[in-house]
Amino acid sequence: MKRIIFKPVVLMAIALIATFAYLLGWSQIFTVKTIEVLGSPNALSEVDILKMSQVKIGGQLARVNTQATKENIQEIRWVRDVDISRNWIDGKVQLSVLARDPIAYFNIDQVEGQTIDNQGELFVLPGFSNPELPVISAATSAGALEANDLFTAFPADFRRSITSMVATASSSFLLNAKLKGRNIKIRWGDSAEMNLKISVIDRLLALPENKKITLIDLLAPHAPIVR
């Protein structure tokens, strides 16, 4: 049998590789010394990121699987995108996240604090509160997006009077509003003839005989109904 003889330079290379592998995977030289979270909206959501990352102070940098860590964090519903990096010099692992932007509260009677973004994704963002967002109820996220499109198209003054919206059917909406100090339900119908409908509401509320009405039906804005 022919003997295999390694040259000294080969043996030295093997020894260096083994030493390097040991330093990376088992020694205390290349360990996680700090974890930095960027892009988290608040302290509560940062806790979610740290928990799902499963990265620990003192762990081996070489054993931080950036792809697995990214996939773990992306399981959080309010995270839109994430990037993971590690610094071999200072031992820092950086978790950079892009949070989804809530455009409205959605079906909060079913899930407390639930919001929706412009892609139709539903999520609860810990610690988030914005009283200026509309409260939308709908059977589907598509209905919620249609309702939000209508809400954002309203003139600012009228939009501020809306307390909640319900997508009752495809492209048909019910509004709850605070107008002239009164709580008024408005059967708005579809998004057509917005300016006409707002003008009709103003004229109806200005009439003395409508001082006690609680509902305005604008399904046929040229022939509105009040109750």
Q: What is the pLDDT of residue 62?
A: 86
Tell me phi and psi for residue 206, to 5 degrees.
-80, -15
Q: What is the pLDDT of residue 174?
A: 95
- pLDDT of residue 193 exceeding 60: yes
pLDDT band at 119 (very low <50, low <70, confident <90, very high): confident
Say if residues 99 and 78 touch (Cβ distance below 8 Å): yes
- pLDDT of residue 26 exceeding 80: no
The DSSP bridge partners found for residue 93 are 35, 86
Distance CA 104, CA 131 (A): 10
Write out the two tokens for 142: 């598509």
Higher pLDDT, 172 or 16: 172
Could you tell me which residues come within 8 angstroms of residue 105 by beta carbon, excluding any fewer than 6 positions away?
Answer: 113, 114, 115, 116, 133, 134, 135, 136
Q: Which has the closest alpha carbon to 106: 148, 157, 68?
A: 148
Task: Report the 10 Å Cβ neighbour count for 5.
Answer: 7
Q: Which residues of 165-193 are buried (b: 16+ CB within 10 A; e: fewer)?
A: bbbbeeebbbbebebeeeebbbbbbebee
- pLDDT of residue 22 exceeding 50: no
pLDDT band at 159 (very low <50, low <70, confident <90, very high): confident
Distance CA 227, CA 224 (A): 10
Q: What is the pLDDT of residue 23?
A: 47
Higher pLDDT, 22 or 148: 148
pTM of the model: 0.74
CB neighbour class for 125 (10 Å; exposed up to 12, middle 13-18, buried from 19): buried
Mean per-residue pLDDT over the chain, rounded = 87
The arithmetic mean of pLDDT across residues 194-221, rounded, is: 95
pLDDT tens figures, 103-113:
889 999 999 99
Q: What is the pLDDT of residue 80?
A: 96
pLDDT band at 14 (very low <50, low <70, confident <90, very high): low
Could you tell me which residues come within 8 angstroms of residue 198 by beta carbon, excluding any fewer than 6 positions away?
Answer: 154, 155, 158
Distance CA 215, CA 169 (A): 19
- pLDDT of residue 2 exceeding 70: no
The size of the chain, in residues, is: 227
- pLDDT of residue 28 exceeding 80: no
Q: What is the pLDDT of residue 142?
A: 87
- pLDDT of residue 134 exceeding 70: yes
Supply the DSSP symbol for 58: T
pLDDT tens figures, 35-89:
999 999 999 999 999 999 999 999 988 889 999 999 999 999 999 999 999 998 9
Query: What residue ranges define each of the domains in the chain, with the CATH number in brackets?
Result: 31-99 (3.10.20.310), 104-226 (3.40.50.11690)
